[in-house]
Amino acid sequence: MKIVIDIDDEQVLFDIKNRGLEGESETDKVIINALYNGKSLPKGHGRLIDADALDITTITTDDYSGNEILDVILKEDIDDASTIIGASNESEVDE
């Protein structure tokens, strides 16, 4: 399972960064290990979508060197794609 969590408690963030948390149960240990090894989203990131769900359109161009076949994803399909995680505000601090 993959989850995204937003942690804004400074003490918890400090403990995660400094590996200051200890779990009592096996579930605690799994969760704490996930926190230690998790990846932070960068400050100001755009909205995250499932790019694999986008349709690929094949087009043929006619230029000076002949026809070229391109596989493209249309901007409107990207704009209409379901959002998995919304964009970060520039003012947010993602640790």
User: Tell me: the pLDDT tens digits for 53-67?
Assistant: 999 999 888 877 778
How many other CB atoms sit within 10 Å of the CB of residue 53? 10
Q: Which residues contact 38 (CB under 8 A, 6 or more apart)?
A: none
Q: Nearest 5°: phi and psi at 55?
A: -80, 140
Q: Is this prediction's pTM over 0.75?
A: no
Residue 27 CA to residue 23 CA, distance in Å, equals: 8
Domain locations in the chain as residue ranges: 1-40, 45-88
pLDDT in tens, 5-39: 887 778 877 888 788 888 888 888 888 888 888 88
